[in-house]
Homo-oligomer: A and B are copies of this chain.
């Protein structure tokens, strides 16, 4: 996993008994205590994020400012205690502090304290929204691992194809943006190449805000070509990823079945008892095999 996201083993279990118990609760999500702890933390994160969101609405801030402020402090203290508990429950504190989640954990409490001591840093207070990222830690542990992993693997396997695709999109966007900068010019809103590239991205991705639009005939022609490219091109990453997902589904089931012990034939149904090819009995009752293997992965 590397040092950015160290495993529980890399973080290490501490020696002291109370710190060991803390480790069990915080890091071992298979245990009942760990599971309960995870659920409470997710709830706390969601509520505290909801407070940040609601607090940003001026009318709410004026009316319920005090309650929101108190709740904010409550959660800041809870997360601070959690941070200290995490520090106490690992053997190698520095590894935790400089890991991805260690930094996120710190960033999700720091702004509230800073806003007290340095009122001018108040603009940073919304950094607290990064608390959301902490939920991803729970994802690693939840029932959704298999789904999460399959999506991840399919994306990882398509990585190189997606990179080739993205670099081609990047070039199209840069060239189209520059073309429109030359053709339309600052008078029509294409004030510089970065802005034109921003426009090209809104066009190729079919977002089309319409805050900047081509006015000349040539510009509109180039824009039309960009749109058709962007619209049709979407088929490419979809095709890459879908072929990957389809193949993954086809790959797995056969691996769940043993070949025929007398003729070696494969491809039997999930509950086959006799070989399709030579009629001899299959070594292990395939039915149990299939059972043991569970339902074919999705």
Contact = CB atoms under 8 A, between A and B. Distances in A.
Interface of A: 49, 52-53, 56-58, 123, 126-127, 129-130, 132-133, 135-136, 139, 144, 147-148, 150-151, 154-155, 157-158, 160-167, 169, 171, 174-175, 178, 181-182, 191-195, 197-198, 201-211, 213, 217, 220-221, 223-224, 227-228, 230-232, 234-251, 254, 259-260, 263-281, 285-288, 290-291, 295-296, 298
Contacts of A228: 166, 169, 201, 205
Contact of A207 (B148, B208, B245): B208
A244 B298 contact: yes
Most buried by B among A155, A167, A248, A264: A264
Contact of A223 (B198, B204, B232, B246): B198
A10 B162 CA distance: 32
Most B-side CB within 10 Å, residue of A139, A191, A228: A228
A160 B146 CA distance: 10
Given A201-B224, A235-B237, A274-B275, A191 B161 contact: no
Given A57-B192, A242-B239, A298 B158 contact: yes
Nearest to A203: B207
A159 to B, nearest CB: 9
Contacts of A295: 251
Q: Is the interface of A mostly helix, strand, loop or mixed?
A: helix
Nearest to A278: B274
Top 5 closest A-B pairs, CB basis?
A: A264-B287, A264-B285, A259-B287, A207-B208, A272-B276
A211 to B, nearest CB: 4
A10 to B, nearest CB: 25
B126 A178 contact: yes
